[in-house]
């Protein structure tokens, strides 16, 4: 193996130092591991080191009942040979164990060594989020103050609020990626999420309300308008509202989706279907549709991993590539897929920096970051006024899609009837169902009030969960099926 030139910047923001200083890695060891990984003829190999510290604090029934902390450290070794992937991981970062994992992953290929390890070239990375909080006891004390404030605000909102749980979960993920093609990248990724759960009860009914938010942010994020009181009142308001909700209607009707989190529609209806792996394998209902009309001409959808502080944002993806803004649908025309190293190589398409993985124990694949629809020209008020009889859905639980036939669902948790252009009674939760390549063709109005969600989304694919963001302006769909029990 040729000695690699030293192109690792000692002066850049030192995300990598943790791995070199604290965990004892050396450039020489990374090269040895990659050399071992390529020893059976693999074309590409990468090492993904990860160290995560997570903390969870929760107040329940007025008592701080939950305090937990977790530490996870490990390395995943991947070897590519054509369409084949060999993978092994270890939670012991000794040279012996790392080399053993590399040898195990190497066996996906079957022949003499053909590729050599290139000298590492460290790319300059963006700085989309703060690196560390205040740490230690001061940070814990501050978090306790925040959840105590939420607990109080929810209880003060209405005497019918009988149960309150408030909590804050955060983690600091350090990653270092070194690959045989010379890729060398490291990052430190904070992630915080505030959660409030309440139960409201009156003489007839019981209802739940949830709220939460955060992002790749420090605790100062919760000092502004996204305060503990904001999340607490939101949870309490929804629960009280649900006490008086009537049955949701059933059948096809006009549907207006509010701004923000209802963007989960895009995530399910088109986002997953545009991940390159499904299209390379032609298992997606969107396969072969690039350049074709898949939505109304008012619809432009992007995936953007570069938004400062957002839950879905990343300075680099989990393969060491810079994230970017990728146009998925432009004025209704399908423009592109989300790709990682493997799919861009096999499909001859640009790499969009979308390779993500849940942890060092999982193989990367193309994933979304923050996915949203751009603003249109309609006033939200005019959109509501245009509906004779329909549903106005402003908040959702979650969604799901069958990539192959394109059918998707998303479940509304806060919705209202629209009657003769006026928002009237709140309705109970209902699932909305549609067909991905068709649903957005019925978008007839797009508002000018684009908003992103509060920072609560977690996306699951092939058993791997990653944090994501979604968003959109107020949107009217002329036709969608609403799964209630009423008329």
Partner 1 sequence: MAARIEGKVSVRLLAEEAVERALRAGATDAEAVGFESEEFAAHVRLGQVEQLTESGSHALGLRVFFAAEGGSRTASTSTSDLSPDGIARLVSGAVELAKVTGVDPFAGLPEREAFGSNDVAAQALYFNDVDAIPAAERIEIARRCEAAALGYDARIQNSKGGDFDASSSHRVMVNSRGFAGEYRRSYCGFSASPIAQDATGAMQGDYWYSSARTAQLLGDPEEIGKIAAQRALRRLGARRVPTQKCPVVFAPEIAKSLMGNLLSAADGDSIYRNASMFAGKLGEQVAGENITMIDDGTMVFDHVLADGTTLKVGGFGTSPFDGDGLRTQRTVVIERGVLKELMLNTYTGRKLGMASTHKASRGLAGAPGIGGGNYFLEPGEATPEQIIGDVKNGLYVLQTMGFGVNLVTGDYSQGASGLWIENGELAYPVEEITIAGNLKDMFRNVSGIGNDLEFRGSGAVPTVRIEGMTIAGS
In the complex with partner 1, which residue's Cβ is closer, 307 or 415?
415
Residue corresponding to tokens 């991905």: 436
Among positions 77-96, residues that touch partner 1 (CB under 8 A) are: 83-91
By CB under 8 A, name the one of 5, 12, 21, 67 that touches partner 1: 67
Give the binding range for partner 1 (CB under 8 A) out of 25-33, 34-42, 318-326, 430-438: 430-438
Binds partner 1 (CB under 8 A): choice among 7, 21, 24, 70: 70
Are the C-beta atoms of residues 113 and 41 closer than 8 Å to each other? yes
Indicate whether 72 belongs to the interface with partner 1 (CB under 8 A): yes
**Considering beta carbons, is residue 334 or 446 the nearer one to partner 1?**
334
**Residue among 123, 144, 333, 349 that touches partner 1 (CB under 8 A):** 144
Distance CA 162, CA 206 (A): 10
Cβ distance 295 to 271 under 8 Å?
A: no
Nearest-approach distance from CB 79 to partner 1, in angstroms = 9
Contact 120, 184 (CB under 8 A): yes
Closest separation between CB of residue 483 and partner 1, Å? Answer: 3
Query: Interaction with partner 1 in 351-380: which residues (CB under 8 A)?
Result: 361, 363
- Is 393 near partner 1 (CB under 8 A)? no
**Closer to partner 1 by Cβ: residue 12 or 283:** 283
Distances (CA, A) of 382 to 265, 293, 298, 485: 21, 26, 16, 28
Q: Can residue 41 be called a binding residue for partner 1 (CB under 8 A)?
A: no
How much of the chain is in helix, strand and coil states, percent to nearest 5? 25, 40, 35
Give dist(CA 30, CA 25) in Å, integer. 7
CA 296 – CA 329 distance, rounded (Å): 10
CB of 125 to partner 1, least distance (A): 26
Residue ranges in 179-238 that form contacts with partner 1 under rule CB under 8 A: 199, 201, 205-208
The 3-state DSSP class for residue 398 equals strand
Stretch that binds partner 1, among 328-336, 373-381, 423-431, 466-474 (CB under 8 A): 423-431
Q: Considering the complex, what minimum distance in angstroms separates the CB of residue 285 from partner 1?
A: 7
When the beta carbons of 302 and 439 are compared against partner 1, the nearer one is 439
Start-to-end CA distance of the chain, whole Å, equals 72
Closest to partner 1 by CB, 122 or 277: 277
Pick between residue 33 and residue 307 the one whose CB is nearest to partner 1. Answer: 33
Nearest to 471 by CA among 444, 451, 443: 451
Choice from 119, 130, 397, 421 touching partner 1 (CB under 8 A):
397
Stretch that binds partner 1, among 111-119, 174-182, 346-354, 433-441 (CB under 8 A): 433-441
CA-wise closest residue to 25 among 52, 49, 44: 49
- The position carrying tokens 């759960």 is 197
Q: Does 108 bind partner 1 (CB under 8 A)?
A: yes
N residues, the chain: 487
Contact residue for partner 1 among 405, 448, 458, 465 (CB under 8 A):
405
Instruction: Give the tokens for residue 236.
Output: 């309490």
Burial class (CB in 10 A: 0-12, 13-18, 19+), 358: middle
**Minimal distance, residue 486 CB to partner 1, in Å:** 8
Q: Which residues does residue 176 pair with via DSSP β-bridges, in sequence order?
A: 49, 186
Residue 141 binds to partner 1 (criterion: CB under 8 A): yes
Indicate the residue among 284 and 326 with the shorter CB distance to partner 1.
284
CB of 59 to partner 1, least distance (A): 8
Instruction: State which of residues 168, 175, 191, 285 lies at the interface with partner 1 (CB under 8 A).
Output: 285
162 contacts partner 1 (rule: CB under 8 A): yes
Pairing status of strand 250-257 against strand 301-304: unpaired
- Which pair of structure tokens corresponds to residue 161? 């609020």
Contact indicator for 167, 51 with CB cutoff of 8 Å: no
């Amino acid at each position: 193996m040729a000695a690699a030139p030293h192109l690792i910047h000692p002066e850049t923001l030192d995300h990598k130092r943790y791995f070199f200083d604290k965990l004892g890695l050396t450039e020489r060891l990374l090269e040895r591991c990659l050399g071992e990984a390529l020893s059976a003829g693999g074309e590409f190999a990468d090492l993904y080191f990860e160290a995560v510290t997570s903390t969870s604090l929760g107040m329940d029934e007025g008592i701080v009942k939950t305090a937990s902390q977790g530490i996870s450290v490990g390395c995943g070794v991947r070897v590519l040979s054509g369409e084949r992937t060999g993978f092994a991981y270890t939670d012991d970062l000794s040279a012996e164990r790392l080399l053993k994992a590399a040898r195990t992953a190497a066996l996906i290929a079957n022949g003499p060594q053909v590729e050599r390890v290139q000298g590492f070239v460290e790319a300059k990375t963006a700085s989309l989020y703060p690196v560390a909080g205040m740490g230690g006891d001061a940070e814990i004390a501050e978090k306790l103050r925040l959840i105590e404030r939420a607990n109080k605000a929810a209880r003060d909102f209405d005497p019918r609020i009988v149960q309150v749980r408030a909590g804050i979960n955060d983690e600091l993920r350090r990653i270092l990626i070194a690959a045989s093609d010379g890729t060398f990248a490291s990052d430190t990724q904070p992630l915080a999420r505030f959660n409030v759960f309440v139960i409201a009860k009156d003489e007839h009914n019981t209802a739940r309300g949830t709220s939460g938010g955060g992002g790749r942010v420090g605790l100062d994020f919760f000092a502004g308008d996204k305060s503990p009181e904001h999340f607490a009142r939101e949870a309490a308001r929804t629960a009280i509202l649900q006490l008086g909700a009537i049955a949701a209607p059933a059948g096809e009707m006009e549907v207006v989706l509010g701004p923000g989190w209802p963007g989960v529609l895009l995530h399910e209806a088109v986002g997953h279907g545009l991940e390159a792996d499904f299209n390379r394998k032609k298992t997606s209902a969107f396969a072969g549709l690039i350049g074709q009309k898949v939505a109304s001409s008012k619809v432009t959808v992007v995936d953007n991993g570069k938004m400062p502080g957002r839950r879905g944002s990343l300075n680099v993806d989990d393969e060491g590539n810079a994230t970017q803004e990728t146009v998925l649908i432009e004025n209704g025309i399908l423009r592109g897929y989300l790709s990682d190293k493997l799919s861009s190589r096999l499909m001859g398409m640009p790499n969009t920096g979308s390779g993500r993985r849940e942890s060092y124990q999982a193989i990367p694949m193309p994933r979304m970051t923050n996915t949203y629809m751009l603003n249109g020209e309609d006033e939200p008020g005019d959109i509501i006024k245009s509906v004779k009889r329909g549903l106005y859905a402003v908040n959702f639980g979650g969604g799901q899609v069958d990539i192959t036939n394109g059918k998707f669902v998303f479940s509304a948790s806060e919705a209202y009837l629209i009657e003769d252009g006026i928002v009237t009674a709140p309705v109970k939760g209902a699932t909305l169902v549609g067909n991905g390549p068709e649903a957005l063709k019925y978008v007839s109005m797009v508002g000018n009030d684009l908003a992103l969600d509060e920072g609560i989304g977690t996306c699951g694919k092939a058993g791997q969960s990653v944090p994501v963001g979604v968003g959109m302006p107020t949107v009217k769909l002329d036709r969608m099926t609403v799964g209630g029990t009423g008329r």
